[in-house]
Amino acid sequence: MIKHWRWWLTLAAVSFMVGSPNPSMDLDRTATWNEAWSAGLVRVVVVPDLGVMQLDGGRVLGYDVQLLEWWGRRTGHPIEWQYAASVHEALEAVRLGTADVAVGPIPEEGMLELVATKAVRSFRWVQVGTQSPDRNAARTPTKKAKKSARKTKAKPKPRIHIPGEFPKPLWLLEADSLNVVPAGPTMFRFAGLDTAVWVMPDYMARAWGRRGTRLAKGSFHWAMRPGDTVLLAELNDLVRGRASRNQRGALAQKPVPRPSDRDSLISPYDALLVGHSGWDRFTLNALIFAESRFNPSIVSPAGAVGLMQLLPSTANRMNRGPVDLYNPRANIKVGIRYLRYLDLFWKNRGVPNDQRLPFVMASYNTGPAPVERAMQRAKRLGYDPTRWFGNVDQVAKGPGGHYARKTRDMAQQYQGYVQSWRRARLRTLDPAQTVVLKTESK
């Protein structure tokens, strides 16, 4: 008996040390979140409608986007931003697995097989706007028209608009007294309140200075896949938990700005930042915002001047003579010459064209010498010296070490916002206006 007992004890000890097959450890490494990947990248697709996201002097603002950025910094979650021109487009990105979370003015009823977070915003739906006058109504009715009107049993209900590709909330589906129809615009920010009646949240109506007629209570949520339970718990804690209460309160105090046709402009200098071969206005705007916050008269402690923070000695060398660095046009012209010089500098050191931009950005901030030393150090440590991200940036020190990532991320946010804004806007225009908008510089 003792012999058998010892045998069973040995078997139990070996089983404990070796372990048994555990199906849960065979992780399906897809977009699904779970405990093993809870600290990983979060792909967020944004519908940059009113209050969700806007640009102000180069700063990326908006309740939803700023709240998620705060969460990412606090928890260490890196965020990959994507952009959609409509709620339907954002929800489809999550369904297809190209994004983890859809963010924007999303009613819970439109999510179908997706799951919703707790309410990100609670509000009142209001009816606001002006009904287009009937051209025939102002005319004196004829006898025939009067006779026809008497035969008419009921007048048609006035049309009330919501954005195109926007899922109707449940109360709208049940409201038989309202003739609600999808409009051409796919965002509330393009509502034409001077010529049409719209249903929208009260906080959006206040952006136009309108109060409107109250209709029903409502809420907007973020959407994700049902299997992402860990991410859902984290975001529910973000939108309703105690830890983020002060941050939510501070963001909620900021008014939603009045929408404008100029909302797609990143800075007052957009017109000076287009038409430069090899340099798009998104990257240039990101660089200028990081350098000077678009202040043309700023001078750094080191003596760098103006929008692109150029040292007079560098500017004179690039310009082959004196230059007024307080003049925005001259400053940008010389700054782009310096960027081209840095591009050629790294080309001559074997950095391929598709990898050169982060080297240029880092060396613009610190000068090429520190970046070249980091390149040589990376090579000695076994990294690829011709690639920045994941290689040279692992050994680069000082401000230049993170400058390339900072400007890249900012440029991507600018580009995503502007392009989704333009795609949503194009759906609101007649063909003649569309041609004009398409010919604008990118």
- At 156, is the secondary structure helix, strand, or coil? coil
Domain positions in the chain are: 123-216, 270-438
Whether 281 and 442 have beta carbons less than 8 Å apart is answered as yes
Which one from 89, 108, 234, 291 is the annotated catalytic residue? 291
Cβ-based neighbour number of residue 128 at 10 Å: 21
Strand partners, 42: 79
Determine the average pLDDT of the residues in 190-194. 91
Q: Examine the pLDDT at 287 and tell me if it is beyond 60.
A: yes
* Long-range contacts, stretch 252-260, CB < 8 angstroms, 24+ apart: 252/63, 254/61, 254/63, 255/206, 255/207, 256/50, 256/51, 256/203, 256/204, 256/206, 256/207, 257/54, 257/56, 257/207, 258/207, 258/208, 258/209, 259/50, 259/189, 259/190, 259/207, 259/208
What is the tens place of the pLDDT at every residue in 198-250? 999 999 999 999 989 999 999 999 999 999 999 999 999 999 999 999 999 99
The rounded distance, in Å, linking the Cα atoms of 121 and 67 is 12
The two most distant CA atoms of the chain are separated, in Å, by 115
Query: Is 291 a catalytic site residue?
Result: yes
Say which residues have a Cβ less than 8 Å from residue 283's Cβ, sequence separation at least 6: 357, 407, 411
What CATH number belongs to 270-438? Answer: 1.10.530.10
What is the tens place of the pLDDT at every residue in 402-428? 899 999 999 999 999 999 999 998 876
The rounded distance, in Å, linking the Cα atoms of 298 and 294 is 9
Whether 50 and 191 have beta carbons less than 8 Å apart is answered as no
Strands 197-201 and 121-129: antiparallel
| Residue 201 identity | P
Q: Examine the pLDDT at 14 and tell me if it is beyond 70.
A: no
Q: For residue 213, what are its two tokens?
A: 């007629």
HSE of 56, CA atoms in CB hemisphere, 13 A: 11
pLDDT for position 153: 53
Q: For residue 161, what are its two tokens?
A: 């608009």
